[in-house]
Homo-oligomer: A and B are copies of this chain.
Amino acid sequence: MRGFYIGRFQPYHNGHHRMVEEIADEVDELVLGIGSAGDSHSPRNPFTAGERIMMVTKSVEAFDVTTYAVPIEDLERNSVWVSHVQSMSPAFDVAYSNNPLVIQLFKEAGVEVRQSPMFNRDVLEGTELRDRMIHDEDWRNLVPDPVVDVIEEIGGIERLQRVSQTDANGGRDNVSPS
């Protein structure tokens, strides 16, 4: 039994970590889909796919389950998103998500979806976490240790703070020069 759990992991934090621990009990192998893989250097998506692969891979080494960290780029078409995921990921039997759009798309494609109240909390924790990073408040105890290492090595706090400056980019995620 292989499961698929998708998140943006911006960054991977203790909420995700607890979810993975939970899911690890239900599956033999787990694919961690790193969503919005092409996005980086924005307030909502500060870290690159490569940086997030490292965060995830180093953190889940703690668990006794075979994992795959697979970057999944956003598409502009919801109608082919499931096929896209299925082609980029090792085959999976069940998907874990609380995102209503993701649930709807998997269901229409006949893929079993499992939800958990923990997911919603995770979303909140991600926003809270990036806010703390921006305002130099404590964030290190909200993420697994390997995530601290990655963020510090790449100068992630300075990056996030700069791209979050007021009117940094006209409210857009990608470069649109003033």
Contact = CB atoms under 8 A, between A and B. Distances in A.
A31 to B, nearest CB: 8
B101 A41 contact: yes
A111 to B, nearest CB: 13
Interface size of A as a range: 35 or more
A140 interface: no
A168 B35 contact: no
Interface string A86-120: 11111100000111111111001000000000010
Contact of A40 (B40, B66, B82, B87): B87
A28 B4 CA distance: 29
A177 B90 contact: no
A100 B37 contact: no
Contacts of A80: 80, 83-84, 87
A3 interface: no
A144 interface: no
A88 B71 CA distance: 8
Given A41-B104, A53-B90, A79-B86, 15 more contacts: A35-B175, A40-B78, A40-B79, A41-B101, A44-B170, A50-B87, A50-B90, A50-B91, A80-B87, A99-B175, A99-B177, A100-B162, A100-B168, A104-B159, A104-B162
Interface of A: 6-8, 33, 35-42, 44, 48-51, 53-54, 57, 66, 68-84, 86-91, 97-105, 108, 119, 122-123, 126, 154, 159, 162-163, 165, 167-170, 173-178
